[in-house]
Structure 1
């Protein structure tokens, strides 16, 4: 059963994280992606993440935590993400290779930590909404990021290697987090779930929804609602 759980975790992570980033990077490097389509896809992913965070992370955590403890843990997660984002921009710069990789990785760490934690003791269908939302989030992010890197003069090979490194880092983090945290107590696991949720919410507020509005403001609201609906549909597939 343990080996089966590890194998399932690896498959889900590789599909939701690595595959989306690599496909997105190839799309942005060699294909065409309009800003409006990128904004539409980003808004869908943001809407889906809102639902999946609540249903697959926060609600299960509330079984072991008080409301105040959960709120504090989420606030700490949001604060840590915001502080790390500021430090990267301040000291590494978002244009340098190291700063760019750090910024991309930081954006993905909360989502992948959340996915790894959600998979502990759960089946693939039970985290379908979260995995699907992360896939939808990673795909346009990688495509748009790769497109901008190529336009800024980076070689296509360098761009693909950068995104491949990001995919490997984030997938490894999700799998390692899942394995390392599988033995912790339910209270600590609930705290980590809320912490990761707060960090993802901060990412949505500072990165995802502003980008969606700036690039596709006419349809961003519709796309967000569509993402909410898609997450509900995926969530309904899980066993009761």
Structure 2
């Protein structure tokens, strides 16, 4: 329990750090794009060599594969529903509306969007703690949270939110995602190997879908030409930590 709480706080602390920096300073978009690319590479490596590898060994190809697809499908369905709620249209338009503050309630929209991306990642971190501390996944989540909160904080400031409101909003988000780590650990603690395999692969599928839908498109749009190099660097660091 204590380990999951500490891991949750460590991973989610990046949200608070990013919000403080974003509330005080507006970084170049290329910087945040490169950071997101680095985080994408780290998460891909962590998923391949930690989450899904463990799920495959515990449950075999069929169970782990079905769990992976189910997790991805669940993320897509929930993300599409959020898109419709925020903008009235499914698809990536929600990201731009949230980030530019073109609609009212930008703080709530950003909190909902980042929480949606972060919940599967943090649940996966909690589930992974059943088999031992996953430093690789922790580092990957930290580096994905940092640029997301930084960009979000800048958008909220441009929409007229005060520094105090911006930091408080992201702190609430950090606490929610910390709770997701603890919940993931508690839920997976008493599971059989077969069910744990499905849980691990399901969480991995949701994270993979969030990567394809959110982090990597943003990195490609704003991080070029360094995004490919940064992705490779994140992958290598995560691989070394997992080895």
Fold-level similarity (TM above 0.5): yes
Confirm or deny: 8 A CA contact 2:49 2:239 kept in the other structure: no
Equivalent residue, structure 2, for 1:197: 204
Confirm or deny: 8 A CA contact 2:36 2:143 kept in the other structure: yes
Equivalent residue, structure 2, for 1:64: 58
Confirm or deny: 8 A CA contact 1:49 1:133 kept in the other structure: yes
- After TM superposition, give the deviation of residue 42 of structure 1 in Å: 0.5
Distance (whole Å) between structure 2 residues aligned to residue 71 and residue 121 of structure 1: 20
Confirm or deny: 8 A CA contact 1:52 1:130 kept in the other structure: yes
Confirm or deny: 8 A CA contact 2:37 2:219 kept in the other structure: yes
Equivalent residue, structure 1, for 2:116: 106
Equivalent residue, structure 2, for 1:176: 183
Distance (whole Å) between structure 1 residues aligned to residue 78 and residue 110 of structure 2: 13
- After TM superposition, give the deviation of residue 232 of structure 1 in Å: 1.3
Q: CA RMSD in A?
A: 1.3
Equivalent residue, structure 2, for 1:128: 135
Say whether 1:15 aligns with 2:22. Answer: no
**Matched ranges for 1:216-227 at <5 A:** 216-227=223-234
Confirm or deny: 8 A CA contact 2:32 2:147 kept in the other structure: yes
Say whether 1:147 aligns with 2:154. Answer: yes
Q: Structure 2 residue aligned with 1:51, among 45, 48, 62?
A: 45
Distance (whole Å) between structure 2 residues aligned to residue 130 and residue 91 of structure 1: 31
Cα deviations across residues 166-209 of structure 1 (Å, max 9, x unaligned)?
00111011112212321111111110110111111111111011
Confirm or deny: 8 A CA contact 1:92 1:98 kept in the other structure: no
Q: Structure 2 residue aligned with 1:82, among 67, 76, 82?
A: 76
Cα deviations across residues 124-171 of structure 1 (Å, max 9, x unaligned)?
xxx111100001101111111111111122222221111011001110
Distance (whole Å) between structure 2 residues aligned to residue 100 and residue 44 of structure 1: 22
- After TM superposition, give the deviation of residue 99 of structure 1 in Å: 3.2
- After TM superposition, give the deviation of residue 32 of structure 1 in Å: 3.6
Distance (whole Å) between structure 2 residues aligned to residue 66 and residue 121 of structure 1: 17
Q: Structure 2 residue aligned with 1:215, among 214, 219, 222?
A: 222
Confirm or deny: 8 A CA contact 1:109 1:170 kept in the other structure: yes
Which ranges of structure 1 fall in alignment gaps of 5 or more residues? 1-5
Confirm or deny: 8 A CA contact 1:41 1:140 kept in the other structure: yes
Which ranges of structure 2 fall in alignment gaps of 5 or more residues? 88-97
Q: Structure 1 residue aligned with 2:34, among 19, 33, 40?
A: 40
Aligned structure 1 segments of 4 or more residues deviating by more than 6 angstroms: none
- Range with bigger deviation, 66-75 or 164-173: 66-75
- After TM superposition, give the deviation of residue 64 of structure 1 in Å: 2.2
Distance (whole Å) between structure 2 residues aligned to residue 63 and residue 172 of structure 1: 28
Q: How many residues align?
A: 227
